[in-house]
Amino acid sequence: MSKQVKLILDSKFNIFSENNKTIITFDINQNENINIDSIEQNILITINNSNNIDIIYKKNIDELIDEFKDIILIRVFGKGPTFKNIEKTNKNDFHIGINQSINFLSECDMLVINDLHNIFLVDKEKIKKLKYILTPEYLHIDGVFNKDGYYEKVFNHLKQNNFTGKYIVYNLRTNPESNINFIDLHSTISSSNTAIEFICVYLNKFIKKIECYGIGQNGKRYNKLFVGNGNYDEARIAEISFHISKICKKHNIFFCMN
């Protein structure tokens, strides 16, 4: 490839050259094996991503934050015994589902997952309607860091199921090599804590109230709607609740545990 062509692949799948004399447009989802090395000099290439999934990096997180300027209340739904479906009361409400809780919500804006297997347990119709998803770069497998949990597997699953929202990728602390391109979240307690930390650290400019359902409340088992029991003894429940209380107070966000 000519030295006069400088190609930069960004998060929106656009490639730019330094000299704009020719424009080539193609769809990355239908032309995955295009040989870039065969391209001549002095061109501009634009790849259209028909799946329209935007990856949110550290460099464009501020643009995403501004999308929450009109949100007044965020509800976060976990799988604990106090889970229940709550209807939005107005257009300024925002709902976050943790793992499979999304399957039982009539309205959900964001999905938060830390463990890879959970993405495959989410109803495909729910995936289509999501606006955002938040996961680590390397999702856990069997509860621990694993190179095989790379977020590309989630991305491909979202693409196959017609997700057209924004994919926020972050560094989970269990990853021994943080990626400087992604935002950092430090909680390793549960996906619910990850969601709360994301709100408190990145959305506190606008968000001043959080309601939690099915999170951090007494009861060693999941709500009867969900399969399995989870790993929630009294000590872990206390840890979840303490972290939520501490980080919300630190960022001056009112919260309630239902």
Whether the predicted pLDDT of 250 surpasses 50: yes
Whether 203 and 175 map to the same domain: the answer is yes
Whether the predicted pLDDT of 140 surpasses 80: yes
Whether 96 and 224 map to the same domain: the answer is yes
Average pLDDT over residues 43-58: 63
**Number of domains, the chain:** 2
Whether 44 and 79 map to the same domain: the answer is no
Whether 58 and 30 map to the same domain: the answer is no
Q: Where are the beta strands (DSSP E) in the chain?
A: 23-27, 44-48, 54-56, 73-77, 93-98, 110-112, 132-136, 166-171, 183-184, 209-213, 254-257
Q: Are 216 and 192 in contact (CB under 8 A)?
A: yes
Q: What are 226-243's pLDDT values in tens digits?
A: 666 566 677 888 888 899
Q: Are 101 and 77 in contact (CB under 8 A)?
A: yes
Residue 163 belongs to what domain range? 54-257
Phi, psi of 170 (to 5 degrees): -135, 165
Q: What are 184-216's pLDDT values in tens digits?
A: 999 888 899 999 999 999 999 999 999 999 888
What is the pLDDT of the chain when averaged over all its residues? 80
